[in-house]
Amino acid sequence: MRRILILFFISSVFAISGKAAADWDNRPENLNPEEKCFRDSITSFAQNFIGIPYKWGGATKDGFDCSGFVYFVFKQFGITVSRSSSAYEGIGEKVALEASLPGDIILFTGTDATKRKVGHLGIVLKNEAGELDFIHSSSSKKHFGVTITRYYSSGYVKRFLRVINVIS
């Protein structure tokens, strides 16, 4: 009886919060060791490029734009993603922000948050204890080039669109 009550409570929480039950499967504690290792490899590799300058249209170590950076990183691991930020509109498996994992792709509008189309993206590095960090190539004068941004204390919150999984 106790298990039934617990299951009822958990399913009620998901229903109230608007999360699908499938989101629970994306939690870090449910990852198999191979996928966790693969995701860690992607995020570790991405961090090797911190400080590489922003370059519009760039997809090499000489300079990256946001989609060029994501394209370059995932290509090294045999995952083909789009070279254009706008093409991320219909790819990947949508993941709840709270359930995002290192290696997921986080999508934002461009600088005009009222235009709800993908215009910027990055790779989730960490999502624990209420903190989410992502790595991206920014054209901002304040954080020019490949940098890590703490999501909840940034201006990206108002530009957030969704998180996608292209790994599994």
Asked if 158 contacts 112 with a C-beta cutoff of 8 angstroms, the reply is no
Question: In this structure, are strands 131-138 and 93-95 parallel, antiparallel, or unpaired?
Answer: unpaired
Catalytic residues: 66, 120, 136
Using CA atoms, how far apart are residues 114 and 134, in angstroms rounded to an integer?
22
Q: How does DSSP classify residue 54?
A: B
Using CA atoms, how far apart are residues 50 and 69, in angstroms rounded to an integer?
11
Question: Tokens 């996608």 correspond to what residue?
Answer: 164
